[in-house]
Structure 1
Amino acid sequence: MLEEHQVTWVILAGGQSSRMGGQDKGLLLYQGRPLIEHVLEALKPQASSIWICANRNQSAYRQYAPVIEDLYPDYPGPLAGLHTALKHAETEWIGILPCDGPLISSDLVQRFCRAVTKDGKIYVAHDGEKRQPVYALAHRSVLSQLESFLEQGDRKVALFFDQVGAHLVDCHDIPSMFMNVNTPEQLLNLEKQQTQ
């Protein structure tokens, strides 16, 4: 089984947040604190190495963890964050998760580490109905393949995972973990649900 210390986990906070009116989602308040704090609070007991990938407000994020930014311009999406992490990390494995999903399971890291087999290069969470591609674990050996994919102008996470042959990580029993915040309405609804 993969050991927790063999993985660098990267919280993806580098998007444009167009549906949130351009606001930096990781810094939006949820239950009185920035979303990034909730993600870190859940992840820190599970992971020894945590980074944040952010393309703006780096000084704000730097107070929480080391910050990297996309090497590709113009906010190309989660794969660019994974690419940057694979380029920088000293560990063989990189895990990614979004900054706008504050309900992280207390055994997320363990689930991914337990799922790793000899032949797998990428692992992606599955909620029982579909893949959740921004909750994933990748081996650094996919870096050259990922660079080729991005150089061709492709951005779709699911398409790249299909090409690499991603393995599924069963998370059907924790579907609430995948509740993320893309609009002001979703943030408000999440607040309401958690206070009921």
Structure 2
Amino acid sequence: MLEEHQITWVILAGGQSSRMGGHDKGLLVYQGRPLIQRVIDALQPQVSSLWICANRNQAAYRQYAPVIEDLYSDYPGPLAGLHSALKHAETEWVGILPCDGPQVSHDLVERFCQASESGGKVYVAHDGEKYQPVYALAHRSVLSPLEQFLAQGERKVMRFFDQVGARAVDCHDIQSMFMNVNTPEQLLNPQDQQLA
């Protein structure tokens, strides 16, 4: 079974935040704290290595953790963040999660580590109904197929994970973790959040 020190966890904060009027989502205040701070506060006690992948406002993000950025231009999405993490990490495993999901479970990392006993190369959270592909754990051996996938202009996260035989991580009992903040209204009205 994997142990947490064998994984570099990366919070994905590299999107364009088009539904937020272009404001950098991770730096927006939610219930009194920036979204990125809420994710870090929940994740940090669980991990040894924690980074942020951001394509702008890197100086602001560096106040929270080391920052990397996409190596592909034009905001190609979460897979570009995973790619950059796999390229930069010294660990063989990289975990990803989004900056706009402020309700990170206290045992998220433990769940992924336990799932690793099945011997796969990619693990993806499953909420009991569907996969939540921006909550994932990947081995560096998928870097080459990921680069091929992106070179073909592909962007669909779950399509790539299916190609490399992703395995589910049971998160059916913590569905609330997958609620994310997508609109300015949700910053003010958390009860209006929708499942990712």
TM-score, normalization: structure 1?
0.96
Aligned to 1:47: 47
- How is 1:49-128 mapped onto 2 (pairs within 5 angstroms)? 49-117=49-117, 119-128=119-128
Structure-2 separation of matches of 1:179 and 1:188: 15
The equivalent of 2:178 in structure 1 is 178
List runs of 5+ in structure 2 lacking aligned partners: none
Q: TM-score, normalised by structure 2?
A: 0.96
Shift in Å at residue 33 of structure 1? 1.1
Whether the aligned pair in 2 keeps the contact of 1:31 and 1:191 (CA below 8 Å) is no
Aligned to 2:133: 133
Q: Tell me the CA shift for residue 184 of structure 1.
A: 1.3
The separation in 2 between residues aligned to 1:44 and 1:119, in whole angstroms, is 26
Give the AA of the match of 1:96. Answer: I
Cα drift, residue 119 of structure 1: 3.4
Q: CA RMSD in A?
A: 1.2
CA drift of 1:183 comes to: 1.1
Identical aligned pairs, as a percentage?
Answer: 81
Do the aligned residues in 2 keep the contact of 1:78 with 1:157 (CA within 8 Å)? yes
Secondary structure of the equivalent of 2:8?
strand
Equivalent pair of 2:186/2:192 in contact (CA under 8 Å): no
The DSSP-based 3-state class of the residue aligned with 2:11 is strand
**2:36 match:** 36
Which residue of structure 2 aligns with residue 19 of structure 1?
19
Structure 2 CA distance for aligned equivalents of residues 187 and 65 of structure 1? 23
Q: Which residue of 2 aligns with 1:153?
A: 153
Residue pair 1:61, 1:67 contacting (<8 A) in 2 also? yes
Q: For 1:15, what is the secondary structure of its paired residue?
A: coil
Question: Which structure 1 segments of 5+ residues have no match?
Answer: none
Give CA deviations for 1:71-111 in whole Å, capped at 9, x if unaligned.
Answer: 00010000000000000000000000000000000000000
Which segments of structure 1 move beyond 2 Å, counting only runs of 4 or more?
A: 185-189
In structure 1, the residue corresponding to 2:117 is in which secondary structure? coil
Deviation at 1:22, TM superposition (A): 0.6
